[in-house]
C-alpha cells in the first residue's frame, strides 16, 4: 500500500517546478490566479524560467528544484508547470529515500509520467496525473471540469467515471480491481529495460499520448507486449490519444484497429474513450491507489489519493 500524501488546505504553499522543458511563461502567469482562487500560495522553482535548448535549465538545476520542494517543510504540494522532455535525464539521481520521508502532493502528466513511475515504485508515494499550469490551466480552453478535478487534493473522495462524462467503448468486458498505474505511453515504453520499468502485475494500466501516428502506437504497444506487460495487467484504461492522424491515411491502420489488434484477445477488461491526457476536459486521477474497472458497465472507480 503506497503512502497517501496529506491533503492540501487553504493557506498552504505549493511549489511550482519545470522538471522537463521550458514552460510558456505567459501561460504560466495566467495560471497563477487559479491557484490563488483555490486558496493556495505559490513558491516558484529556480529553474522555471531557465532555458537550455529544449530543457528548463540543466539537469542539476531541475533535479535541485525537485529535491528542494520535497525537502522544504513549508511546501505542502508540488505542481508541474509543464512537460515536454527531460525528466528521465536525472531520474537515476533522485533521492527517493528523502521523498519517502517527506510525502506530499505531486501533480503533473505527459513527460512527468517517468517521475510518477519512479516515485511510485521507489518512494511508495501516491502521485497525481493531472493538468499542468502553463500547458493547460493558463490556456483559454481550460475546462471547468478540469478545474474541479483539483478538488481531490483538498479532501479524500472517491472518483467515479462513467459514460455521463464521455462515450466509452469496451474492447474486452469483465471486472478488474488493482492499483492504477501508468500515464503517457511513450514514457512508459522508454522505461522498459531500465530500473524504472513499470510494474503492472495485477494492476490497472492507464495509457495516453499525443501526436503519435497509429504505426508509432503500434510499435510502442508491441514493445509492451514483447516485454510481457500485457500478460501481467489486470485491466487497461485507454485515455486520450490526441492528434493520432497518419500522414498517409491510405497506407495506415486506424488507431482503433491498432487497439483491437493488441487488446481484443486479452482476458481482462479494456475500455477506451476516457478523457484522461492531453485533452479538455482532463479527468485527473491519483496513481498508486486501488481502482475498479468494470468493462461490462463501462465504469472506472478510483479510491482517494490524499489522507
Known catalytic residues are: 110, 208, 278
Task: Give CA–CA dist 294/184, Å, rounded.
Answer: 22
Dist CA 119 CA 224 (whole Å): 21
Rounded to whole angstroms, the Cα distance separating 119 from 111 reads 14
Using alpha carbons, select from 76, 138, 63, 71 the residue that is nearest to residue 107.
76
Query: How many C-beta atoms lie closer than 10 Å to residue 259's C-beta?
Result: 23
Q: Is the dihedral of CA 188, 193, 198, 202 positive or negative?
A: positive
Which run of H or E residues covers position 171? strand 169-172
Spatial separation of the C-alpha atoms in residues 212 and 248, rounded to whole Å = 13
- Residue bearing cell 500522414: 247
Spatial distance between the Cα atoms of 75 and 63, rounded to a whole number of angstroms: 16
Among 221, 213, 189, 206, CA closest to 282? 206
User: In this structure, what are the phi and psi dihedrals at residue 277, rounded to the nearest 5 degrees?
Assistant: 135, -145
Set of cell numbers at residue 261 = 489488434
Amino acid at each position: 500500500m503506497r503512502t497517501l500524501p496529506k491533503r492540501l488546505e487553504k493557506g498552504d504553499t505549493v511549489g511550482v517546478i519545470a522538471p522537463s522543458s521550458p514552460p510558456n511563461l505567459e501561460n504560466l502567469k495566467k495560471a497563477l490566479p487559479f491557484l490563488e482562487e483555490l486558496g493556495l500560495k505559490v513558491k516558484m522553482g529556480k529553474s522555471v524560467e531557465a532555458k537550455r535548448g529544449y530543457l528548463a535549465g540543466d539537469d542539476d538545476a531541475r533535479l535541485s528544484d525537485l529535491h528542494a520542494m520535497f525537502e522544504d517543510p513549508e511546501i505542502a504540494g508540488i505542481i508541474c508547470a509543464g512537460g515536454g522532455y527531460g525528466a528521465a535525464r536525472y531520474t537515476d539521481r533522485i533521492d527517493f529515500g528523502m521523498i519517502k520521508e517527506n510525502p506530499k502532493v505531486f501533480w503533473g502528466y505527459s513527460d512527468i509520467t517517468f517521475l510518477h513511475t519512479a516515485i511510485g515504485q521507489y518512494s511508495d508515494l501516491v502521485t497525481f496525473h493531472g493538468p499542468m499550469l502553463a500547458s493547460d490551466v493558463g490556456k483559454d480552453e481550460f475546462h471547468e471540469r478540469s478545474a474541479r478535478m483539483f478538488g481531490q487534493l483538498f479532501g479524500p473522495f472517491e472518483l467515479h467515471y462513467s459514460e455521463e462524462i464521455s462515450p466509452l467503448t469496451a474492447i474486452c468486458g469483465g471486472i478488474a480491481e488493482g492499483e492504477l498505474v501508468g500515464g503517457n505511453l511513450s514514457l512508459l515504453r522508454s522505461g522498459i529495460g531500465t530500473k524504472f520499468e513499470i510494474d503492472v502485475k495485477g494492476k490497472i494500466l492507464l495509457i495516453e499520448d499525443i501526436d503519435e501516428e497509429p504505426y508509432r502506437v503500434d510499435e510502442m504497444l508491441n514493445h509492451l507486449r514483447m516485454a510481457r506487460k500485457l500478460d501481467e495487467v489486470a485491466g487497461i484504461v485507454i485515455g486520450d490519444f490526441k492528434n493520432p492522424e497518419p500522414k498517409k491515411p491510405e497506407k495506415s491502420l486506424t488507431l482503433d484497429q491498432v487497439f483491437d489488434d493488441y487488446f481484443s484477445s486479452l482476458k481482462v477488461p479494456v475500455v477506451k474513450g476516457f478523457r484522461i491526457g492531453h485533452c479538455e476536459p482532463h479527468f485527473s486521477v491519483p496513481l498508486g491507489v486501488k481502482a475498479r474497472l468494470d468493462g461490462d458497465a463501462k465504469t472506472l472507480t478510483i479510491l482517494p489519493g490524499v489522507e
